[in-house]
Structure 1
């Protein structure tokens, strides 16, 4: 039977498109939603909904008199309480599934747009899932995963940052800072793109004049300043930064999940394998690695070593970079070219190597 005679739904290209989402749905429906502190989040949210006020003390431990209590994930707790109220615990499964499907959709089409290959997109989506699956628990962080993925995808793929993009990212940052204390990751992403591209421009002999006049650099700098500013739009103002820093500084001593990544469990094993794969791909890639890509990889690789909770970000950041470098390996390029017209493939290959 010829390819064109096969029903669209049974064609390999369709399967490559559907499979990642089917896997995510299956994992979410089969997994247990319970987590040790989920009840804490729900109860805190219930109290805030009933009192229509932000918590001023921890409900489950003693808060010293006069101590300024900061509940950095207050909005996610309200969402949890609302979900439990209108749909009981079953709604958490739906919420988790939707948020992760949004994340996978963003990453999948991000990878596909830069590789134009469904098989490679599928491979590196599996790569991302394997590195992130242990952090798919129903807790405040799950709200921020699709936001992080969108920030990264947009900054990487958008050559011309428009006013609408700046406005949207600012709104997402306001949401992020009230959902979870990981909001600094969005600012770090913008900072990395700004520094990386500034270094690239500085060492470009033909374009090394008037760096600050470069449109994208100016917009990245403006976006960075704006994002830092809008983080103050929360119930605690600038204190949210001190709380974020305090948690980041002491978390490894207070919780086992924040300790350095151990190589004796599934997440640690996947992390090490991902490093080996990354090294092999970058060694044989014919595409020049950019300064921005190098900083992204080293920064989030370091974060992955620091804590198991950070491996998920390494998976999201590294997958698209590795995918585009994977396409430039000679053996892979030749294999891809068999399924494309020579002219079409040659144009895409040249573009990937030049970027």
Structure 2
């Protein structure tokens, strides 16, 4: 009952969060294309700078599922699917220590802490499929698991994960930590049997990385994406968690990390080697890139629950364990939880959009129903969903598709280093859909030309349309 209330609470809270991730827009449009064509969208359809070029089907499964949800109930349905997966991931992670005999209230506090860690990275996006799959993987593996047909249950989890969001490397890191300790125990004669079951699971996770239409090409695409995101564009979620751009958003990560350190010092010699290995491996991953803090919070829930159970520093915390909800109250609580967490958001209408130029897109659609749009990378997703294929954008959030030269020119144009005549010859745009801060110098250039008319401006975008060829 308590775990159900935690699930419903997380589900309900996330339902009221606005849409703020811009890439989910082109993910949905790609899913729509797949459904329309009856096959994977492997040819470029959105960008006028890459006509007819190859489009790797990255994350195609989540794109289809989100597109189907969008057709059923627009953004509310998309958000419902996303939040259902995230809330379920936290519930699955909480079930791991419960299954091991840890008290429910230790588990609740651990789950709340894990939820707070991931809250700032819980925007609607395909990552929710990966997080839920990760929790299922953690629930499925055990340090002393045997080689059996039960291992086949991992196959659909791994395939769904990697084809929805190619981040199976996270699962590989976690299971590597467990397998390393298991083999160390055998070498030190602390375990009689070799951990073949866990080792086979490791190989299954490793092989699962190529279980997509891309095969081994997934590795080169992932590297290209990392190089552009981290080193060229400095995309915030790919930065280290101490970087200035993400430090504020990760305050709960640092708080939880400090709590973890205190608990480990407190428990001392009673810490399990497996728990320490998972903590070190997942913390190392989270310190590499801020985007992994969400997975870190999921992996840490079972550890925190056990550690809370061991220390129980507050007397009231112990007394909570004796509280039981009478059966006569259980059904009303369940019904109320379902109404508040699942139905009420639908009655409140569509979710809001945060920091996305919806009004600007509406204006451009009235003025330019079809054409080539030179745009800000982050705004390409909303433009694609609103107007593709009638609208074609200059560049977009699929970072791995564009060469280094394209990103260098993108930055140079924004800073005003490219003359407008040169930009025109390279792009022949029908409109400029720009960011007032990032494109400040380019906007100043355009305002000097009578051949371009500024038709709209707000805190998110500035729009110019062509009046005549310069």
Distance 1:248 1:188, change over 3 A: farther
1:259 aligns with 2:239: yes
Task: Give the 5 Å matches for 1:201-280.
Answer: 201-204=186-189, 207=191, 214-215=193-194, 217-253=195-231, 254=233, 255-261=235-241, 262=243, 265-280=247-262
Distance 1:155 1:287, change over 3 A: farther
Task: Give the 5 Å matches for 1:193-204.
Answer: 193-204=178-189
- Report what 2:168 is aligned to: 183
Alpha-carbon distance, 1:200 to partner: 2.3
Question: C-alpha distance in 1, partners of 2:274/2:3?
Answer: 29
Give ranges in structure 2 of 5+ residues lacking alignment. 323-470
Distance 1:305 1:189, change over 3 A: closer
- Report what 2:373 is aligned to: none
Task: Give the 5 Å matches for 1:337-348.
Answer: none
1:100-157: CA deviation from partner (whole Å, max 9, x where unpaired): 232122122223233531211111010110011122211111111111011112224x
Alpha-carbon distance, 1:330 to partner: 7.3
Q: Out of 306, 312, 325, which is 2:294 matched to?
A: 312
Please identify which structure carries the higher helix content.
1
- Is residue 287–residue 328 contact of structure 1 (8 Å, CA) maintained in 2? no
Distance 1:62 1:300, change over 3 A: farther
1:125 aligns with 2:111: yes
Alpha-carbon distance, 1:188 to partner: 2.5
- Is residue 286–residue 330 contact of structure 1 (8 Å, CA) maintained in 2? no
Question: C-alpha distance in 1, partners of 2:267/2:21?
Answer: 41
Superposition TM-score, scaled by structure 2 size: 0.61
Report which structure shows greater RCO (CA 8 Å, sep ≥6): 2
Distance 1:296 1:88, change over 3 A: same
Distance 1:266 1:18, change over 3 A: farther
- Report what 2:157 is aligned to: 172
Question: C-alpha distance in 1, partners of 2:291/2:305?
Answer: 23
1:284 aligns with 2:266: yes
SS of the equivalent of 1:285 reads helix
- Report what 2:336 is aligned to: none
- Is residue 111–residue 121 contact of structure 1 (8 Å, CA) maintained in 2? yes
- Report what 1:322 is aligned to: 304
Question: C-alpha distance in 1, partners of 2:256/2:83?
Answer: 25
Question: C-alpha distance in 1, partners of 2:80/2:157?
Answer: 22
Query: Rg larger in 1 or in 2?
Result: 2
Alpha-carbon distance, 1:42 to partner: 1.1
Alpha-carbon distance, 1:68 to partner: 5.0
Question: C-alpha distance in 2, partners of 1:250/1:196?
Answer: 35
Question: C-alpha distance in 2, partners of 1:22/1:337?
Answer: 24
Question: C-alpha distance in 2, partners of 1:76/1:251?
Answer: 21
1:129-188: CA deviation from partner (whole Å, max 9, x where unpaired): 0011122211111111111011112224x7434534311112211111211111222223
Distance 1:178 1:22, change over 3 A: closer
Aligned residue pair count: 318
Give ranges in structure 1 of 5+ residues lacking alignment. 1-13, 209-213, 341-355
- Report what 2:368 is aligned to: none
Task: Give the 5 Å matches for 1:78-117.
Answer: 78-117=64-103
Question: C-alpha distance in 1, partners of 2:254/2:54?
Answer: 41
